[in-house]
Amino acid sequence: MRIATWNVNSLKMRLERVGGWLNRARPDVLLMQETKLADSAAPIAELAQRGYELVHHGQGGWNGVAIASRVGIADVVTNFGLPFAAANRPSESDDEPSREARMISASCGGVRVVSLYAPNGRTVDSLYYHAKLAWYALLLGWLRDTRNPNEPLVLGGDFNIAPSDADVWDAAACHGGTHVSHEERHAFGRLLSWGLVDAYRHQHPELRRFSWWDYRAGCFQKNYGMRIDHLLITAPLVPRLVWAEIDREARKGKPTPSDHAPVAIDLDAAGQAFDAGWAGAEERIAVRTRKR
């Protein structure tokens, strides 16, 4: 069973790319974030033509999460089971993340999956940063109250946190910013302490493997990125984990790709093989960084 996560950065704009990647990687379940669609605009028919059932939780031009599955979808939960109320300050964004479309969960093929789009936080100690930490506390509370670390569960998505200095291109350059602060990393660590394992890191000790690169200044070509997209799994899934990868190739080419790459894991048996592009990129990246 292959489970993947991908911040698509507009499902409407990237639908062709998503379709191509479904053919390339053949995931059984794809968790998507930042769909930027209302539920009424979700491409249910288009995904059905490819053999995938789609559930979507969105609010229009920002945020939005979805699950596409070809192994069934049942018992859908959105927004941690809370009413999706209108924002108190609709002119703002990221300041009331519990009122935004950032979480959807379902049972797919005997595994409980959760698609998450964590708030960005903007700047440390800002209103948005504290709202991000509050959202993480809400997530942890939902896990404690409604889930069990002994069930097969995958928590996936854009966490907007690089768990360690190994997950950023330059720890000194990132020091003092969001995504790497002590409080954010502590919030991520509390999820692991509840009973989750970082599936990619469990399989890959290599450094400089990232899932997000800024569009600006050749960051992708120089591999100035962060690993902020994760698939966290509970203990029953750890012995079933046979493979994990970040598909760097999906960040390349035309039409304009998302600034995030898909992250995928296989349970029980290997899925369709594809070249994620890391081996071929390492020498090119080394040459570019020597020229800085």
Q: Taking Cα atoms as reference points, which of 262, 272, 275, 276 lies closest to residue 30?
A: 262
The answer to whether 136 is a known catalytic residue is no
The answer to whether 158 is a known catalytic residue is yes
φ and ψ at 236, to 5 degrees? -60, -20
Q: Taking Cα atoms as reference points, which of 145, 156, 144, 127 lies closest to residue 190?
A: 144
| Alpha carbon distances (Å) from 6 to 29, 90, 154 | 11, 27, 14
H or E segment to which residue 156 belongs? strand 153-158
Cβ within 8 Å of residue 284, ≥6 positions away:
221
Q: Taking Cα atoms as reference points, which of 268, 267, 258, 263 lies closest to residue 278?
A: 263
Note the maximum CA span of the chain. Answer: 53
Determine which one of 28, 94, 117, 224 is catalytic: 117
Determine which one of 28, 94, 95, 158 is catalytic: 158
> What is the residue-wise DSSP string for 198-240?
EHHHHH---SS--SEE-SSTTHHHHT-EE--EEEEEEGGGGGG
Write out the catalytic residue numbers.
117, 158
